[in-house]
Amino acid sequence: MRNLQSTTSLHNGVKMPWLGLGVFKVEEGKELVNAVKTAIAHGYRSIDTAAIYGNEAGVGQGIREANVARKDLFVTSKVWNSELGYEATIAAYEESLRKLELDYLDLYLIHWPVAGKYKEAWQALETLYKEGRVKAIGVSNFQIHHLEDLMTDANIKPMVNQVEYHPRLTQKELQAFCRQHAIQLEAWAPLMQGQLLDNAELQDIASKHGKSVAQIILRWDLQNGVVTIPKSTKAHRIAENATVFDFELTTEEMNRMDSLNENHRVGPDPDHFDF
């Protein structure tokens, strides 16, 4: 784990960068295109979008204008809840590719574990994978019981589970389960959408390293073996969030950060959502 191009190997051997750019809530337009271009110019190789973000066209434009070979980038998108079904999910994948103007994705995820629907969608992802149209497939917001249920019928285990993960929601059991099954955990809202940045405990650790709170949280992700995708549209923060490969948190600091856990979510609870 040396720089922005450092990768983890998914269980099928595909290499996924440890750190990427998230673009949730960034609307189509110049700001989005510039954020993607800035990130790639800075060395980011992974971009995380989703059909529901409504910004795949701009992400695609940013990627094209960044002028980095497609094979060197790692692009993730997600199928939305309304499209969970065999045919519907295949069609949703095609639509994401069309908007992104790409001919494959590196990772395609089921966005939320909608009861009674995710297994059929998973079959569609398996088809896309077996046909070589996507490099890796995975899920998002899956709890242990969702993963167990999915894997009862699946032919291919998910390669990634992208979940809310930050020092207030450390997801230890889920992480252990994923590790046991070689499913790479990926953190969304790693910065708790900005809500942790004034935490005194984190500020204390950050000051000892001459780093920002955002940087020590992202470093904590990496040292925990969790892929992370902080979102920013500001060039200086895109750079700041990537400068996390030049220091190391001690075991004691890692434990102090772990102890901030309150099982507190900023996003919906995967066991109680209604969308």
Residue from 59, 97, 229, 244 in contact with ligand NDP (CB under 6 A): 229
State the minimum distance, in angstroms, from the CB of residue 194 to ligand NDP: 4
Helix (H) or strand (E) holding 139: strand 134-140
The helix, strand and coil proportions of the chain, stated in percent and rounded to the nearest 5, come to: 45, 15, 40
| Segment 39 to 68, residues that bind ligand NDP, using CB under 6 A | 48
Residue placing its CB nearer to ligand NDP in the complex, 135 or 211: 211
**The one catalytic residue among 44, 53, 93, 118:** 53
Question: Is residue 234 close enough to count as binding ligand NDP by CB under 6 A?
Answer: yes
Residue spans of alpha helices (H) in 154-268: 172-180, 200-209, 213-223, 235-242, 251-258
Residue placing its CB nearer to ligand NDP in the complex, 25 or 130: 25
Q: How many residues bind ligand NDP (CB under 6 A)?
A: 28
Question: Is residue 219 close enough to count as binding ligand NDP by CB under 6 A?
Answer: no
Exposed (0-12), middle (13-18) or buried (19+): which is 164, by Cβ within 10 Å? Answer: buried
**Which positions ≥6 away from 193 have C-beta within 8 Å?**
266
Residue from 231, 242, 244, 249 in contact with ligand NDP (CB under 6 A): 231
Question: Is residue 189 close enough to count as binding ligand NDP by CB under 6 A?
Answer: yes
Question: Is residue 37 close enough to count as binding ligand NDP by CB under 6 A?
Answer: no
Q: Report which of 103, 94, 32 is spatially closest to residue 71, judged by C-alpha positions.
A: 103
Write down the residue that tokens 């692009």 correspond to: 75
Give the strand pairing for 7-9 and 15-17: antiparallel
Question: Is residue 191 close enough to count as binding ligand NDP by CB under 6 A?
Answer: yes
Question: Is residue 110 close enough to count as binding ligand NDP by CB under 6 A?
Answer: no
Euclidean distance between CA atoms 88 and 61, whole angstroms: 25
Residue placing its CB nearer to ligand NDP in the complex, 17 or 22: 22
State the minimum distance, in angstroms, from the CB of residue 7 to ligand NDP: 18
Write down the residue that tokens 């997801």 correspond to: 171
User: Catalytic: 53?
Assistant: yes
The residues of the shown chain that bind ligand NDP, judged by CB under 6 A, are 22-24, 48, 111, 140-141, 162, 188-194, 197, 212, 214, 229-234, 237, 240-241, 267
Catalytic residue list? 53
